[in-house]
């Protein structure tokens, strides 16, 4: 059995199949993703599409991003939405 996406879980919740408690239990068992996929943005360089990305090297499964990291990611995403081309 594969993992469910957040979008699939949202649809099941809206249709009344799952409740909040069931979703939390599925997430703790690792059967449901815990984050939504973002919108992809790209830039063109004359030869093709270039996709910018942001990651924090050294951040592992047992550590969480700090508040500064989260704020930085939000600002990075704002810049992408302002300057990048939204992928359809």
- pTM attached to this predicted model: 0.57
Q: Is the per-residue pLDDT at 64 higher than 90?
A: no
Q: Are residues 42 and 32 in the same domain?
A: no
Counting the structural domains of the chain, the total is 2
Q: For residues 2 and 68, what is the distance between their CA atoms, to the nearest angstrom?
A: 33
Q: Are residues 85 and 46 in the same domain?
A: yes
pLDDT of residue 32: 81
The shares of helix, strand and coil residues in the chain, as percent rounded to the nearest 5, are: 40, 10, 50
Q: Are residues 1 and 42 in the same domain?
A: no
Q: Are residues 86 and 44 in the same domain?
A: yes
3-state secondary structure of 30: coil
Range of the domain at 43: 38-88
pLDDT of residue 62: 86
In percent, how much of the chain has pLDDT > 90?
42
pLDDT tens digits, 7-46: 888 888 899 998 889 888 888 888 887 666 678 999 999 9
């Amino acid at each position: 059995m594969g993992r469910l996406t957040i979008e699939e879980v949202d649809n099941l919740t809206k249709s009344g199949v799952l409740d909040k408690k069931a979703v939390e239990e599925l997430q703790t068992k690792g059967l449901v993703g815990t984050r939504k996929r973002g919108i992809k943005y790209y830039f063109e360089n004359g030869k093709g599409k270039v996709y910018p990305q942001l990651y924090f090297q050294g951040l592992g499964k047992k550590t969480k991003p700090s508040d500064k990291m989260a704020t930085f990611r939000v600002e990075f995403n704002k810049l992408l939405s302002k300057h990048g081309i939204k992928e359809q």
